[in-house]
Amino acid sequence: MISRSALPLAGGAGTIIATRRPLRVTTIVSPCSARSSTAEKFRDASEAVISRTALRLSEQCQTALVSTAERAHAEALDAADPLASIRDRFELGDPDTIYLDGNSLGPLSSASRRRLHALIDEWGVRLVAGWDDWLDLPRQVGDRLGAVALGAAPGQVLVCDSTTVNLYKLASAALDALSPRHASTILTDAGNFPTDRYVLDGLAAARGLRLRMIDADPVHGPGVDDIAASSDVALVVLSHVGYRTGAVADLAATTAACAAASVPVLWDLSHSVGALPIELDRDGVQLAVGCTYKYLNAGPGAPALLYVRRDLQDRLRSPIQGWFGQHDQFAMHRPYDPQCDIRRFLAGTPPILQLAGVASAVELIAEAGIERIRAKNLELTQLAVTLYEAWLEPLGFRLGSPVDPKRRGSHVSLRHPAAESITGALVEQRVIVDFRGPDCIRLGLAAPYTRFVDVHDALARLRALA
């Protein structure tokens, strides 16, 4: 008889159920030495199989126990989360689905639903008279967004158009008025978001300039040294948070370095606004753009933000001369004469319904508090990295985001050669993430509605697939 030692099995949280079941191996030993030798070999082989099986079961049970303990830890973090009640204000679909794609599109809030319905009702009653209160919404919502999430004083932010259009407007205006004379290079990084690179490529071609794309560190992105080493630069365009890796650029130091070289810099805040504190005025930023449908949760196609520092506004002229940027909008017989303030960067009629979504989204961010949002984001991304190291790194995954939590935004990138197919399989397992080629799985961990157990369960499902 061969007895098996007790194997630890995971029961409830922190529970080990020990079992001791004797496993009986029967052998027939004949007087014949050859047959006796055969029986001994059989017995030895049986013991080896049992030993390997016991070890494998023990490892599986220990893994299950660790997973149970990790989930209990995640549950404890959720119980202590000061932002936990904010989650209830969002519509997240199927309760069994884990939504980790807010870095692409934030979910609908109940406040936005109410505000949109109220505006629709107002439209139905007031008709064209509603414009009396709607005309200045791009500036009003921009001022509020600037105060809550951008560190910008009133009169410097608009909410209008798309990120692509706003980038074109500000990049073109900067090249006309702020660039060093005879400079012939527009500088960005090869890992910058595609629309930024496309717009800059078109501007360079139209103006006979050269677009230079820095081959920066693939995880950390471009640094101050990358920018300082460049010469003959007319304009620098960078993302505050890298769309692929989540790496946070040193906005203040880079802005200062560009200012010292008298080179204008335009920041894309699409993956940082609403996710971490931004201080545009304090850090001397000249120009910035960014979307509102990611971490601000303003809705699909919501208009973008545009920031122009106050002292530069009368020096810059938008290349898109629309009637909302005209000094006297309804004096339609006059030639174009731009507004004397931030409104000169308006173009066409603003999307009033979508602006209502931005307005309600900003108030939710204000209530949650951007500092508390950032504090939770740091914890969420650190939990994801810790579980990656324990569960996924041994399975061939690689971390595509900075190890230092302060250098990460609000999403974590995991790299794997089969990332695209794994992403599809995760979605089938009701974990909504996204894929960015060639090998990145992005996990968007938005503090207002992402729980710590969501991070745990999503990575547990990912581990099970791998």
Which residues are designated catalytic? Answer: 193, 268, 293-294, 442
325 DSSP β-pair partners? none
CA distance 339 to 346: 9
Report DSSP letters for 384-443, one per residue: HHHHIIIIIGGGT-EE-S-SSGGGB-SEEEEE-TTHHHHHHHHHHTTEE-EEETTTEEEE
Q: Which tokens belong to 209?
A: 């300039």
For residue 16, give Cα distances in angstroms to 61, 65, 90, 268: 9, 8, 38, 51
DSSP codes joined into one string, 49-112: HHHHHHHHHHHHHHHHHHHHHHHHHHHHHHHT-TTGGGGGGEE-SSTT-EE--TTT-PPEEHHH
Residue 190: both structure tokens together: 């090869």
Query: For residue 219, how many other CB atoms are within 10 A of its CB?
Result: 20
CA dist., res. 420 & res. 425, Å (int): 9
- Rounded to the nearest angstrom, the gap between the alpha carbon of residue 180 and the centroid of all alpha carbons in its chain is 34
Evaluate whether 353 touches 71 at the Cβ level (below 8 Å). no
Nearest C-alpha neighbor of 155 from the set 140, 167, 171: 140
* CA 108 – CA 236 distance, rounded (Å): 35
Interacting residues of 435 by C-beta distance below 8 A, sequence separation 6+:
419, 420, 423, 424, 441, 442
Q: What is the token pair recorded at 212?
A: 């230079």
**Radius of gyration of the chain from Cα atoms?**
29
What φ, ψ does residue 103 adopt, rounded to 5°? -75, -10
- Cα angle 27, 31, 34; round to 5: 75
Integer Cα distance of 40 and 18 in angstroms: 30
